[in-house]
Amino acid sequence: MNFTLKTSKYAKEILTQLHSSTGITPNLLIRYAVALSLKNNRADVELQPIVKDFTDGLVLNRNTVTGEHDYVFRAMITQAAGKELTDEQYFPGYFNAHLERGIRSLAAEYKSAGNYERFVRALLL
């Protein structure tokens, strides 16, 4: 079992930028990004798990990223995949795929909101 998440350089840059602008820690930003990816999931577009091992991004522990909600993330990601996932497929494969797709949505949300307060409101709605 793999308990380490390695993000892309792009995800690292966005997470670092959002953390410095909002004060929200990367692990929470990752949860929001994955949630946005799941929210915008389309049945006609199959998301492929990421099997590439990124070397220039963030390296985070699974428990730090998903916390006590790991089983919830696994259930939602499995539902979105439409098939049963092994532990190795779920994390880091599909989890990272949702992170990489969701981080773009998260960055767009922040840019659209224009400031921290509106960003948080947008995430809560």
Give which of 91, 16, 24, 96 is closest to 54, Cα–Cα.
96
Domain boundaries of the chain, sorted by first residue: 4-124
Asked if pLDDT for residue 95 goes beyond 80, the answer is yes
Query: What mean pLDDT, rounded, does the chain reach?
Result: 94
Helix (H) / strand (E) containing 54: none
Fold annotation for 4-124: Arc Repressor Mutant (1.10.1220)
The band of 1, judged by pLDDT with boundaries at 50, 70 and 90, is low
List, for residues 35-75, the tens digit of each pLDDT value: 999 999 987 788 999 988 899 999 999 999 999 999 999 99
Long-range Cβ pairs for the range 27-33 (8 Å, 24+): 27/60, 27/64, 27/65, 27/67, 29/106, 30/5, 30/60, 30/65, 30/99, 31/65, 31/66, 31/67, 31/69, 31/73, 32/102, 32/106, 32/123, 33/98, 33/99, 33/102, 33/103, 33/105, 33/106
Distances in Å between the Cα of 72 and the Cα atoms of 21, 66, 119 are 28, 9, 24
For residue 2, the model assigns a pLDDT of 75
In the predicted model, what is the mean pLDDT of residues 1-6? Answer: 85
pTM for this prediction = 0.93
